[in-house]
Amino acid sequence: MNIKNEVLGRMYIVLIVFVLAAIFIFSKVLGVVVLEGDRWRKLGKSSYVSHKDVAAERGNVYAEDRSLLATSLPFFEIRFDTKADGLTDELFNEHVDSLAYCLSTFVNTDYTVGGMKHYLEESRAAGKRYLLISKRATYGEMVKMSNFPLFRRGKYGGGFIALKTPKRERPFGMLAYRTIGYVNSRTKLGLEGKYDKVLHGKTGKRLMQKINGGIWIPVNDLTEVEPISGNDIVTTIDVDIQDITQKALIRSLEHHNAKKGVAIVMDVKTGAIRAMSNISKTDKGWWEMYNDAIGTAIEPGSTFKLATVMALLEDGYVDLQDTVSVEHGRTTFYDKVMVDATSKTATLDSITLRRAFEVSSNVGIAKLAYDHYHGQDRKGRIKVKRFLKRLKQFNLHLPTGIDLDGEPHPYIKDPNDASDNWSGTTLPWMSTGYELLQTPLQLLSFYNAVANDGRMMKPYLVSEIDMIDGEKKIIKPTVVRKHIASKATIRKAKLLLEGVVKNGTAHDLYTKKYDFAGKTGTTQINYKKKNKKTEYRASFVGYFPAENPKYSCIIVITDPKQNGFYGGTVAGPVFREIADKVHSLKLDLQVAINEKPKPRLKSFYLPNQSVGKTEDVKKILAYLELPVKQKSFGKMTVIRPKADTVWMLRRKIKKNIIPSIKGMGLRDALDVLENMGLTVEHKGMGKVVAQSIKEGTKAKGQTIKIVLK
């Protein structure tokens, strides 16, 4: 019995120990699963091996002619696993000298061969499995390195790791930089941001292994799920026009020491944006910092007067030849004084509407708007609402809807909205482009509609999406409004804009090569801030050629500090430079000589009063086969027509007596005068029309000045 009890006691003790151990283990398991479960599950997911994203190759961004504006180039991050499974000490020691020579000679020349060898040996001894060899190797460099000693054995045999890291490149540098935009972990901007889903492609998967130091390396050289490259987009940007526009804008900003500038060129018929440039002054020079063309609403100033006049014309209140009192360029609305920036109205009591627009009279335009839209009509209706209705008819209250993010709504005050602070002076100032906000693109869209005979087009930047599977999605032009105004109003608006260039504030920009139309604007920026130096914004918006508009263009330059500040002298020349170069560049703007109408000659006449050497005159007249009567046998001849015959008369040249040289060309005049010992100063081209010393004066070595025309 004693033995039996002793055995049972021992068994109970063992059983109790097992039960206690089980309870302890169960409690630990329960703690891990319940209390620390989330922590260990997260750790499990991040440890050892995991599928990691592999970025797809981003689609290309093309210009209108398929020039590359943005593309992804393949670059490689080259790493060395010094503890690769197949890399034995024997192999490493056998090839380390050759590998060190190749790396120090072709990859990192900061190292000597000996220094590179020591670095590799030291890294292997430290067990480094992800040693950086090259951060950004090209495809060719990667292929070359993959054939280096040891590396040619691959990932497992030689520790060679090549990770593809596509890099976004822009072949044209800053050209349309802000319009094209970019995408990073925090920001999506421009076309790259707007069309990110199109360009991005489909991300792939690769099995990665976590090693010491929290570094992830690929388990094998192949991805588990191959990434699919992104689609391409074709923009409406014309590289040549964009280059012309950007350079012209920068030249003006430098010349006027301005803060920043905007320039947009649009295709009149379609609304396609051919160029968009936003240049700002930075500490490092000129750069595209922000897309002000689309994202910044400003007070347009005098360029808005076209909308005011068109509203008056649409309502039948005025016509181009109607007169308006300008009060010598100065008037008062309630307690505020309005003045004209032009001196052309300073001596005038009244001028026509057409002239008021051409010289950009604030007083004239504001008084017309105030006279017809202020107060109430006979039925008690607020008349200014009719003005606001016309602005909405012109679509000036809505954004353009361009295919870029960040476009704000225009701001036009409403007399029924208390937050708009409508006052008695709002209407006259609004009529001249103040107390309202428009982006440069929104204003250009309005002018473009005028150029397009009243049809308003939606501005757009992408014309085509090329799918990776070969399909194409064509984006066609969109009509926003078929008619923003009547044909009569549009025709008169065009006449006004052409008059600004031919007779008004942009007269200095006029050229005989082609006609263009537009409106200048000079806006005070900080007029509400007292005791501050006045800053200005110069603008010009218009289109060319005037008779058959192909392109519309707006220029806005902020805070020019030197060489003028008016729209006609700061922004206008940029428009003219762009128009000149585009007109010369584009063949579709040229008219073939045989397509032009034959010129009508005002009269038929024979050459008269020309003077030259007798022998030269005889040769020319013989070549022209003209009937000639020669009464001159001297050195010089005067040509005079009589009836249908040319007479050659003698021009006497006396020794040391200054003759009349009028009618001579420069060569003959110099021959005659210099042979008399005279010093000749000449100005102009053509034939001599004036001489500083009278004929008959004795030649004594004087200096004679002659004018040719």
Q: pLDDT value at position 165?
A: 80
List pLDDT tens digits, range 334-344.
Answer: 989 999 988 88
- 312/534: higher pLDDT: 312
pTM over 0.75: no
Closest CA to 427 of 353, 519, 327, 333: 333
List pLDDT tens digits, range 135-167.
Answer: 889 989 999 999 999 999 988 889 898 888 888
Q: Is residue 39 pLDDT above 60, yes or no? A: no
Q: Is residue 73 pLDDT above 80, yes or no? A: yes
CATH 3.90.1310.10 fits 44-73+168-235, yes or no: yes
Q: Is residue 235 pLDDT above 80, yes or no? A: yes
Computed over every residue of the chain, the mean pLDDT equals: 87
Q: Is residue 392 pLDDT above 90, yes or no? A: yes
Q: pLDDT value at position 209?
A: 65
- 468/54: higher pLDDT: 468
The tokens describing 189, both together, are 């901007």
Share of the chain above pLDDT 70, in %: 89
Q: pLDDT value at position 216?
A: 65
Q: pLDDT value at position 1?
A: 54
Give me the mean pLDDT over the 322-349 stretch.
92
CA–CA distances in Å: residue 304 to residues 64, 190, 221, 336:
31, 28, 63, 20
User: One-letter amino acid identity for 323?
Assistant: T
Give me the mean pLDDT over the 636-665 stretch.
77
List pLDDT tens digits, range 610-632.
Answer: 777 777 777 777 777 777 777 66
- Cβ-based neighbours of 496, under 8 Å, separated by 6 or more: 306, 309, 320, 354, 357, 358
Q: pLDDT value at position 690?
A: 85
Domain 653-709: state its class: alpha beta
* Cβ–Cβ under 8 Å, residues 557 and 572: no
Q: pLDDT value at position 186?
A: 85
DSSP string across 422-457: --TTHHHHHHTT-SEEB-HHHHHHHHHHHHTTT-EE
Q: pLDDT value at position 212?
A: 61
CB atoms within 10 A of CB 345: 25
Q: Is residue 594 pLDDT above 90, yes or no? A: no
Q: pLDDT value at position 637?
A: 76
Q: pLDDT value at position 101?
A: 95
List pLDDT tens digits, range 77-120.
Answer: 999 988 888 899 999 999 999 999 999 999 999 999 999 999 99
In the block, tokens 């019995």 appear at 1
CA–CA distances in Å: residue 553 to residues 106, 308, 547:
51, 20, 16
Q: pLDDT value at position 273?
A: 98
Q: pLDDT value at position 36?
A: 62
Q: Is residue 474 pLDDT above 80, yes or no? A: yes
**Residue 498: pLDDT band by 50, 70, 90 thresholds?**
very high
- 251/613: higher pLDDT: 251
Q: Is residue 412 pLDDT above 90, yes or no? A: yes
Rounded to a whole number of angstroms, the distance between the first and last alpha carbons of the chain is: 150
DSSP β-bridge partners for residue 641: 646
Q: Is residue 44 pLDDT above 60, yes or no? A: no
Q: Maximum distance among all alpha carbons in the chain? A: 173
Q: Is residue 605 pLDDT above 60, yes or no? A: no
Residue 96: phi and psi, rounded to 5, are: -65, -35
> 245-589 maps to which CATH number?
3.40.710.10
- 293/529: higher pLDDT: 293
